Amino acid sequence: MNMQIKKYKFKVALLSAIFFLSGCSQSFLDTTPEGSIPVDSFYKTDADAKGAVLGVYDILQSMYAYDWDSMWMLKTLLSDEIYTGGGHRGDQPPYEEINEFRYSSSNPVITWLFQMSYWGIYRANLVIAKIKPESAAKKQAIAEAKSLRAMLYFDLVTLWGKVPLVTEPAASPEQYNQPRAKVADIWAQIEKDLNEAIPDLPLKSQQSAADKVRVSKGMAQAMLGKSLLFEKKYADAAAEFQKVIDSGEYGLISDYSRVLRKEQEFGQESLFEISYSADKNYDWGNFQWGNNGRNTESNVHWQLCGPRGDGWFTGGSTGLVAGWGFAYPQKSLWNAYTAANDTVRRNAAMMSENQLIAKGGKLRNPDQNNSYPWGCEGYVRLKYGPWANESNTSETSVKELNYATNVRLMRYADVLLMAAEAYNRAGDDAKALPLINQVRARVNLPALASSGDQLFADIKTERRLELSFEGVRFQDLVRWGDAKTILGDQGKMIPEGTFTNGQEDYMSISGAGFKDKNVVLPIPEQEISVNPQSSQNTGY
């Protein structure tokens, strides 16, 4: 099903205050659409309400696909799943800083995503404040906005820690100059938003095809369960996940290799995804780079993170096409799959050089001393890969700029594993085991019979193997208290692609590796400079 968010060009004259909160440059403000009308003249009809909340989805769409910056890229770079890659060392220094834990408060990727999170919150606040709950449609719009606001605050609190808690649209920039809220207060707001939203949201089966892009009751319940799990409220989290499971709305598809492919978009395993389109026929002349890139509807990141062309990669019969060489898999992930005898998920998530050669492709460049690309250990990522048939197939289309694969933010397998973890941590392994074993059965792995701490360790491993490259690993490691152990050496040795005496060369990087301060990201320098009540996280 080719679903997409049709860009809703806000008729609202957006207040500029939100940008002052984030320290945003003036260029971000040069986007007010022609024919805009005052805020108070909008939000009157059911159609206004339904359209207005699309403005928040629009921000999420941009946050996961904008030029070189995306939330998927940030979360994945922070994990032990990938190396930065690129054409050479220094191709994208902000990525390298993140992947190697050398970033500062001026990192542009971290800054932009912090800013965009508050832009999305601002739009959600407008919907919540301006729409009166006079009809079912308006109540649903408010519920969607509260759910999306909760999702945005979830990433803010788990990635940045204490941040300003803004729940109303401000009338002046000064009203956004707020101190950072306590983490407990942010979690309380997330819970409040989701609990208030759930009664007014439809089940997934009640949504029309065009509305599958919107938050459903099941997604809000799963997000509430996830929030409670992160708060270590295990019994409450398990209860919310159980509601999703008992709803009968979701299931696991039989073929794991297809879970992130286009034909499964909005399928039975999907609770929520961010939608993109391949039908815009972007080319090198009309693709909107820079700030205007927020208006694109394709996802250029799948091209950005495809295996490097330029004489290195050819796909043979794999269906993959060459990209720009970022986000090569780490060998340690391949080894983790192999150690678990998990060939089904391993071969769906990544491909070895030998497997590529067997399909008529190649990874080395004969004109560069038969080297690998920079940042590559001999593996290619298949999840969210640049699949030729998931871009525009028109002969006149520039395929690099028209990928439409959706980003899945919540899958049913994730719900099952979080539910298993919640039950295990609450001391109910009898309910935990069938859930993790359901996920394992799909990929032909034997059922587990472990309990207690060993079952918890098994759940951790299962999450790593099931959800690789899906942007959940770093936040999992931090909440488990495992980040320093697992990521302590991250980025200290980077594969160069060249070989000496048959062994790949590695570059030593000074100052790399996860440190205590890296449990949270720095508050952007721009925010500190414009908000006198703000403060910095320890160590930055």
Short-list 505, 436, 424, 441, CA closest to 464: 436
71 and 157 share a domain? yes
In the chain, the amino acid numbered 370 is N
Q: Which two tokens stand for residue 276?
A: 């993109």
Report pLDDT for 468: 99
Tally of residues, the chain: 540
CB-CB contact of 224 with 196 (8 Å) = no
127 and 242 share a domain? yes
Short-list 187, 73, 52, 219, CA closest to 122: 52
Report pLDDT for 291: 55
Report how far apart, in Å, the C-alpha atoms of 506 and of each of 374, 486, 494 are: 10, 20, 5
CB-CB contact of 101 with 77 (8 Å) = no
Report pLDDT for 494: 98
Rg (Cα) of the chain, in Å, rounded? 23
390 and 432 share a domain? no
CB-CB contact of 63 with 45 (8 Å) = no
Strand pairing category for 503-508 and 270-274: unpaired
Q: How far apart are CA 19 and CA 282, in angstroms?
A: 29
424 and 371 share a domain? no
* 36 in any annotated domain: no
180 and 309 share a domain? no
49 and 186 share a domain? yes
User: Whose structure tokens read 């959706």?
Assistant: 406
Q: Which DSSP category does 29 fall into?
A: G
pTM for this model (two decimals):
0.92
Q: How far apart are CA 395 and CA 484, in angstroms?
A: 49
Query: Distance between the two ends of the chain, CA-based, in angstroms?
Result: 46
203 and 91 share a domain? yes
Q: How far apart are CA 518 and CA 102, in angstroms?
A: 9
Q: Which two tokens stand for residue 221?
A: 């319940």
Backbone φ, ψ for residue 397 (5° rounding): -80, 145
97 and 218 share a domain? yes
Instruction: Quick: pLDDT tens for 218-230.
Output: 999 999 999 999 9
Q: How far apart are CA 415 and CA 259, in angstroms?
A: 14
User: Whose structure tokens read 């298949």?
Assistant: 382
In the chain, the amino acid numbered 255 is D
* 32 in any annotated domain: no
Q: How far apart are CA 475 and CA 74, in angstroms?
A: 11
Element holding 495 (H helix, E strand): strand 493-500
- Of 364, 385, 409, which residue sits at a domain end? 409
* 499 in any annotated domain: no
Instruction: Quick: pLDDT tens for 452-495.
Output: 999 999 999 999 999 999 999 999 999 999 999 999 999 999 99
Backbone φ, ψ for residue 270 (5° rounding): -95, 125
Please tell me the total count of domains within the chain.
3
342 and 359 share a domain? yes
Q: What range defines the domain where residue 306 resides?
A: 290-409
Strand pairing category for 82-85 and 326-329: antiparallel
User: Whose structure tokens read 């500190």?
Assistant: 528
Short-list 195, 163, 188, 168, CA closest to 178: 163
- Of 363, 385, 409, which residue sits at a domain end? 409
Report pLDDT for 30: 31
Cα torsion at 181, 186, 188, 191 (round to 10°)? 160
Query: Directed axis angle between helix 331-339 and helix 452-466, to 10°?
Result: 130
Q: How many CA atoms lie within 13 A of 352 on its CB side?
A: 13
Short-list 241, 174, 209, 219, CA closest to 418: 241
Report pLDDT for 213: 96
Q: Which two tokens stand for residue 487?
A: 């990521």
Regions of the chain with pLDDT less than 70: 1-40, 67, 283, 285-286, 288-295
Report pLDDT for 13: 30
Q: Is 496 helix (H, G, I), strand (E, B) or coil?
A: strand
What secondary structure, in 3-state letters, does 132-160 show? CCCCHHHHHHHHHHHHHHHHHHHHHHHHC
Report pLDDT for 40: 66
CATH classification at residue 481: 1.25.40.900
Q: How far apart are CA 229 and CA 529, in angstroms?
A: 34
Q: How far apart are CA 252 and CA 246, in angstroms?
A: 14
- Of 374, 409, 444, which residue sits at a domain end? 409
CATH classification at residue 133: 1.25.40.390
* 283 in any annotated domain: no
Report pLDDT for 419: 99
Backbone φ, ψ for residue 494 (5° rounding): -115, 130
Q: Is 350 helix (H, G, I), strand (E, B) or coil?
A: strand
Q: Which DSSP category does 88 fall into?
A: S
Q: How far apart are CA 432 and CA 420, in angstroms?
A: 4
